[in-house]
Amino acid sequence: MRHYAAYGSNLDPARMRAYCPHSPMVGTGWLEGWRLTFAGEGVIGWEGAVSTVVESPGDRVFVAVYDIHPYDAAQLDEIEGVTSGTYQKLHLRVSALAGDVTAWIYVFDGYEGGLPTSWYLSEIANAAEKAGAPDDYVTGLRSRPTGTASA
């Protein structure tokens, strides 16, 4: 088994149970020195930018850590766009209460920039809340700017 650190809508344990039924959430933690941002706005078929993280000293991103079964890993790579080249996998250290763990994350394969739709940002904030993120983190997510989906 391997660890995956979710920072976007996959923070939601119910969503992850549907995607990866053999892979339990084993805790939460922080990606220290990283910042949640958005990228890919204007990519054909997307209404707004999608979540990603970038290195940013002094910042941190709340994550839910999942113990991913190999069967679920291939499915998650497909869902998250690794096989299509949209996202890359990086292995990082997650700071958790029980100690540091190594986990992979998905990072958008392109430039940072763009705004998420209000619906998408709400999904991320709700997922963070369900995973047990601190109130100030969730409030910060909800107060971020959003864009309007083009028709």
CATH code, 61:
3.10.490.10
- Asked, for residue 116, whether it belongs to a domain, the answer is yes
pTM: 0.92
Taking only the tens of pLDDT, the chain with its 151 residues reads: 599 999 999 999 999 999 999 999 999 999 999 999 999 887 755 788 999 999 999 999 999 999 999 999 999 998 888 878 888 999 999 998 888 999 999 999 888 889 999 999 999 999 999 999 999 999 999 999 998 754 4
- Asked, for residue 144, whether it belongs to a domain, the answer is no
- Domain that residue 133 falls in: 2-137
- Asked, for residue 146, whether it belongs to a domain, the answer is no
Report the relative pairing of strands 87-96 and 25-39 from DSSP bridges. antiparallel
Residues annotated in a binding site for substrate = 4-9, 120
Number of domain units in the chain: 1
Residue listed under structure tokens 């709400």 = 122
Predicted local distance difference test score (pLDDT) of residue 47: 80
Per-residue b or e along 91-124, where b marks 16 or more CB atoms closer than 10 Å to that residue's CB: ebebebeeeebebbbbbbeeeeebbbbbebbebb
- Asked, for residue 151, whether it belongs to a domain, the answer is no
Residues taking part in catalysis: 80
- Asked, for residue 142, whether it belongs to a domain, the answer is no
CA distance 7 to 16: 12
